[in-house]
Amino acid sequence: MPQPLISPYGSWKSPITADLIVAGTIGLGSIVLDNTDTYWIEARATEAGRNVIVRRTTDGKITDLTPSPFNVRNRVHEYGGGSFTVKDGIIYFSNFSDRRIYQQTPDSQPQALTPVADSHYADGVVDSQRQRLICVREDFSNSSHEPVNQLVSINLNNGEDIQILASGCDFYASPRLNPDGSQLAWLTWNHPNLPWDGTQLWVASILEDGFLGEAQLVAGGVDESIFQPEWSPNGMLYFISDRSNWWNLYRWHNGEIEPLYGMEAEFGLPQWVCGMSTYGFQSANRLICTYTEDGNWYLASLELQTKQLEVIETPYTSISSLQVANNRAVFIGGSAIASTALVEIDLTTDNITVLRKSSELEIDKGYLSIPQPIAFASENNLTAYAFFYPPQNQDYQAPPTEKPPLIVKSHGGPTSSTSSTLNLKIQYWTSRGFAVLDVNYGGSTGYGRAYRQRLKDNWGIVDVDDCTNGAKYLTAQRLVDGDRLAIAGGSAGGYTTLAALTFRDTFKAGASYYGISDLEALAKDTHKFEARYLDGLIGPYPARQDIYKMRSPIHFTDKLSCPVIFFQGQEDKVVPPNQAEMMVEALKNKGLPVAYILYEGEQHGFRRAENIKRTLEGELYFYSRIFGFELAEAIEPVMIHNL
């Protein structure tokens, strides 16, 4: 092997290009098992972000089922999820453009089931006895009020026959039929709660006319988050609750709630989208589940009579979308050295089969940075967590006295988390000579309810402190260059980015992806799901308007003294473009280097391949001009004002 070339950090030529990332990668999600077939959704950046249902039969044949221009997606709770289900070979899916539900078999074209209406549908379950689909509907028909959420039934023989089964709460999710079809369980929550704050689990009998009898509250409330109710094959109701501080497994039987396995680990997730799943039943006596502990995910079996938990060994540190049926478990798994893949485990032999990879790219490990989980001290004598990625490229090394520039990543949500799964967008940076710190700041999930609630009333403080202290920790350890510290994030992570750049003096540059600069504007102009989110993160509005202004970077541009690049979708309803544009104008007027790239046709998050490529390369170009290093490859320049 030739000796590595000596070249400054940031100037290393990498085989992990933006073209390679967008052309060779698909998004995998929303697994459905029907008899012996496996269905899932692929999000394809090369098809303008279109979501396609794909089927794999037992003979290994993989087939696309969703013809163009259909796009299997919905906007229930704005973020969607749970966009299709399958029963005995018949597929029911939500189409994004016209918001209708379609039905289809693998051998036929989609046929519209529901009429044209200003409604979105999600989280469907087929009620075979009554020939109907039960699902969540979000109705936007009354434009003068926020949309109305309900549980509805849709007649599979006459899609115009839609009946309301439950209404009156602000939000509904997870309708689940018991095995004999006599009972329905579901979740609700109301403003100002989000589903990770407090939800309620209900059960009702189904009457002869198909409507629901009197609903019984099983568990939950304003201070208890219930996640994923499921009926076991023998008719007991299971669910996940954080009543112990950790999202653990419980079951309800004969009116009593029984804990299954107490553990300082998270079996649940923040319910940002519909249809999320972390467990399923192999049999009435055995449950297959996933949980996260210290930032890594595990697969396990839980014997329901003895309550013994046993880890099922896999090479994966990230496991999601678990579905279980017919002695097989199917999930999306990833690790630090392998892109996510659709994986099947034979539960009788523990044999693992990769059904589909998110990327067929085979990248030499010599170009991959292995994340190192770190813990570091932050404010108030508390500990924060992150994954540290040192620069790695087998073809290069930096001059001996040089320290690498650092990009601190602040994830979105803010109630979310990052993981150690191979992320080519991170490796894009590390293989060019950047260090990356991916922070699970206070408020992140995976570390218990108390850690999640550190952000209560403290958004813009705790998250900023943790990101800042992470950068300071690495600087003190002499692992990075303290004069070349950048911070980047999207959505809520974009707010953390802008707040850190405005209210702290640690960072020298930043990149905001559809980030928030004016909290007051966000409180006035966002969608229903998050309309009261800020009540818990900051305080009630307008009663605490003073705090909203005090923590909004747009009002303190005089404190901002470093360059920023902004990326924004023109059709973003979560964080409208005016949020970025106000900040850009303020920076222009102040004479600071600033760049702004607006994408037509994009919403909250970028789905088109050309825009994902432009964003990666644009951010790299921006840093090259700000930090003063030469690029190893030609990149389309970005207009940087005041430079």
Tens-digit pLDDT profile for residues 260-279: 999 999 999 999 999 999 99
Element (H, E) at 259: strand 256-259
| Beta strand extents in 463-543 (DSSP E only) | 485-490, 509-513
What pLDDT digit, counting tens, does each position of 372-431 carry?
A: 999 999 999 999 999 999 999 999 999 999 999 999 999 998 999 999 999 999 999 999
- Ramachandran area for residue 262 (φ above 0: left; ψ -120 to 50: alpha; else beta): beta
Specify the pLDDT at position 471.
98
Is position 24 within any domain?
A: no
List phi, psi (to 5°) of 443.
110, -15
Looking at residues 85-99, what average pLDDT do you find? 97
CA distance 424 to 158: 46
Q: Which of 332, 358, 384 is the last residue of a domain?
A: 358
- Domain count of the chain? 2
Is position 39 within any domain?
A: no
Per the model's pLDDT, the better-predicted residue between 421 and 622 turns out to be 622
| Beta strand extents in 543-638 (DSSP E only) | 564-569, 594-599
Specify the pLDDT at position 338.
87
Specify the pLDDT at position 576.
84
Is position 235 within any domain?
A: no
Does residue 622 share a domain with residue 577?
A: yes
CA distance 46 to 607: 9
Q: Which residue has the tokens 């559809």?
A: 514
Specify the pLDDT at position 47.
87
Reply yes or no on whether the pLDDT at 24 is more than 80.
no
CA-to-CA dists, residue 396 to 2, 43, 310, 391, 409, angstroms: 10, 34, 44, 10, 24
Specify the pLDDT at position 361.
82
Q: Which of 358, 379, 408 is the last residue of a domain?
A: 358
Reply yes or no on whether the pLDDT at 527 is more than 90.
no
Does residue 323 share a domain with residue 419?
A: no
Is position 177 within any domain?
A: no
Specify the pLDDT at position 608.
87
Does residue 297 share a domain with residue 332?
A: yes
Is position 56 within any domain?
A: no
Does residue 456 share a domain with residue 354?
A: no
CA distance 301 to 288: 4
Does residue 515 share a domain with residue 475?
A: yes
Kindly report the length of the chain.
Answer: 643
CA distance 388 to 439: 8
Average pLDDT, the chain: 95
Reply yes or no on whether the pLDDT at 434 is more than 80.
yes
Does residue 297 share a domain with residue 405?
A: no
What pLDDT digit, counting tens, does each position of 442-464 carry?
A: 999 999 999 999 999 999 999 99
Does residue 475 share a domain with residue 518?
A: yes
Its pTM stands at: 0.91
In the chain, the percentage of residues whose pLDDT exceeds 70 is 100
The amino acid present at 435, given as its one-letter code, is: A
Q: 238 falls in which pLDDT band (50, 70, 90)?
A: very high
Element (H, E) at 199: none
Does residue 348 share a domain with residue 382?
A: no
Residue 605 structural domain: 5-17+365-627
Reply yes or no on whether the pLDDT at 109 is more than 80.
yes
Does residue 289 share a domain with residue 411?
A: no
Looking at residues 141-147, what average pLDDT do you find? 83
Give the CATH number for residue 456.
Answer: 3.40.50.1820
Reply yes or no on whether the pLDDT at 630 is more than 80.
yes
Does residue 417 share a domain with residue 319?
A: no
Reply yes or no on whether the pLDDT at 51 is more than 80.
yes
Angle among Cα 149, 90, 360 to the nearest 5 degrees reads 90
Reply yes or no on whether the pLDDT at 629 is more than 80.
yes
Cα radius of gyration (the chain): 24
Does residue 555 share a domain with residue 496?
A: yes
Is position 221 within any domain?
A: no
Looking at residues 206-215, what average pLDDT do you find? 97
Is position 448 within any domain?
A: yes
Is position 144 within any domain?
A: no
Specify the pLDDT at position 30.
95
Reply yes or no on whether the pLDDT at 1 is more than 70.
no
Reply yes or no on whether the pLDDT at 558 is more than 80.
yes
Does residue 623 share a domain with residue 498?
A: yes
CA distance 54 to 40: 5
Q: Which of 331, 358, 385 is the last residue of a domain?
A: 358
